[in-house]
């Protein structure tokens, strides 16, 4: 039996894609407006990577910042866990790529794919690894490059990335507009934390409430690049736009505003806390309106809910570590605070984690 009561976060950091893309730019390549995007999602801008940057590169950037913040040398890391739904390659995952880029070898590197709940699911895995004694200094990265899902041609992409002002054809705009409800929401970024045993036994992760339900998989999924097909990816998939995620936004929205507050209440109950004990809820950043819906149901004042989707869009597994890092560095979270992470995403997977900072 391990004597370690809790694991805790020792340091955090994040990076974003190299190029900032404001809503107005997206209105040049599809039928949308800054007003619509802001009103329906709260998003004002997001970052996309330049060609050649991989998810492991963003993950590496975030990892380095988290290591520096935790004052931990990379060579002391004995386990790497990565949450991503957008790996550099179909296989292997990103964990071993980040390991090699950090100049490490031999230590275990594990990838998990729980999409927007990746960070919360991963926290439970990391916590268990540390409490069991399997890891003493663990690096946990949430990283995503969503721009690869975008339907733009080279011409459209150059406009998005500020490299061309040439108008795209109406035909291309019509094609892109088929995906407009989706392409305005996402961004590229990575967040990371370094974790280890909690010395005083009080600080750290206190409990989790996690759930999955595979009954509505087709409400949010990528209908290509899968081994249900032979070959697993084809020219027809590209022509039909089947590499772009399919998303029934309303179903996802409703699930999120129902299941996220339930998960917060459940993790409080499981750990012997009440909602009033929580200093700050950090929700997965999928849509500002979802966060507002969750906040309303939990009857929380603005001071106890954190949002930053306005500046980054939805970066899936990276949203929570980015928000957490901003809160730590700005003083919004102080030592001793009770922090609740909560999210829902494709799968569907959802859940909450409670942590004493
Ligand atoms: O982390 C999990 C990932 N996904 C999510 O969390 C998504 C959750 N869902 C959402 O965020 C919202 O459902 C969306 C932002 C995707 C859509 O917002 P909505 O308020 O549910 O809009 P809607 O889909 O009901 O569409 C309303 C109208 C439609 O036009 P009509 O049929 O009323 O003429 C859409 O075609 O808005 C139109 N529309 C757009 N208009 C301008 C959809 N996307 C756009 C767009 N720009 N980008």
Q: Whose CA is nearest to atom 7 of ligand 1?
A: 249
CA distance linking residue 17 with residue 193, whole number of Å:
18
pLDDT of residue 9: 98
- Ligand 1 mean position to 283 CA, how many Å? 20
CA distance linking residue 305 with residue 340, whole number of Å:
10
CA angle 327, 18, 113 (to 5 degrees): 65
Does the C-beta of 253 come closer than 6 Å to ligand 1?
yes
Q: Whose CA is nearest to atom 39 of ligand 1?
A: 181
- Ligand 1 mean position to 77 CA, how many Å? 42
CA distance linking residue 330 with residue 210, whole number of Å:
29
- Tell me what the mean pLDDT of segment 317-340 comes to: 98
- Ligand 1 mean position to 176 CA, how many Å? 14
Tens-digit pLDDT profile for residues 228-253: 999 999 999 999 999 999 999 999 99
- Catalogue all structural domains in the chain, each as residue range(s) with its CATH number: 7-197 (3.40.47.10), 204-356 (3.40.47.10)
Tens-digit pLDDT profile for residues 186-232: 999 999 999 999 988 899 999 999 999 999 999 999 999 999 999 99
Residue 300 has pLDDT above 80, yes or no: yes
Please pick, among 30, 116, 327, 340, the residue that the annotation labels catalytic.
116
Any catalytic annotation for residue 211?
A: no
Any catalytic annotation for residue 314?
A: yes
**Cross-strand pairs, 247:** 220
CA distance linking residue 251 with residue 119, whole number of Å:
22
Does the C-beta of 252 come closer than 6 Å to ligand 1?
yes
């Amino acid at each position: 039996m391990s004597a370690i009561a809790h694991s805790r976060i020792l340091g955090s950091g994040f990076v974003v894609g190299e190029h900032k893309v404001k809503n107005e730019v997206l209105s040049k390549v599809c039928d949308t407006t800054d007003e619509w995007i802001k009103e329906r999602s709260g998003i004002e801008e997001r970052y996309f990577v330049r060609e050649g940057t991989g998810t492991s590169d963003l993950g590496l950037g975030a990892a380095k910042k988290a290591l520096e913040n935790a004052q931990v040398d990379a060579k002391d890391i004995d386990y790497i866990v990565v949450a991503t739904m957008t790996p550099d390659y179909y296989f292997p995952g990103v964990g071993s790529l980040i390991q090699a880029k950090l100049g490490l070898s031999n230590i275990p590197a594990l990838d998990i794919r729980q999409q927007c709940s990746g960070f919360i699911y991963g926290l439970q895995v990391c916590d268990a690894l540390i409490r069991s004694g399997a890891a003493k200094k663990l690096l946990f990265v949430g990283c995503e490059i969503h721009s690869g899902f975008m339907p733009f041609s080279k011409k459209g992409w150059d406009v998005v990335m500020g490299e061309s002002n040439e108008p795209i054809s109406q035909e291309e705009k019509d094609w892109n507009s088929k995906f407009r409800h989706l392409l305005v929401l996402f961004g590229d970024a990575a967040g990371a934390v370094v974790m280890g045993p909690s010395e005083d036994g009080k600080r750290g992760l206190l409990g989790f409430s996690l759930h999955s339900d595979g009954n509505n998989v087709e409400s949010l999924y990528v209908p290509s690049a899968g081994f249900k097909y032979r070959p697993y990816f084809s020219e027809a998939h590209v022509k039909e736009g089947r590499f772009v995620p399919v998303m029934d936004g309303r179903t996802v929205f409703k699930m999120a505003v129902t299941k996220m507050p339930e998960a917060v209440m459940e993790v409080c109950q499981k750990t012997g806390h009440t909602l009033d004990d929580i200093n700050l809820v950090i929700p997965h950043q999928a849509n500002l309106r979802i966060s507002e819906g969750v906040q309303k149901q939990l009857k929380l004042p603005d001071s106890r809910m954190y949002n930053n989707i306005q500046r980054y869009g939805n970066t899936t597994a990276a949203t929570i570590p980015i928000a957490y890092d901003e809160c730590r560095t700005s003083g919004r979270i102080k030592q001793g605070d009770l922090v609740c992470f909560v999210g829902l995403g494709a799968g569907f997977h959802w859940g909450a984690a409670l942590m004493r900072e």
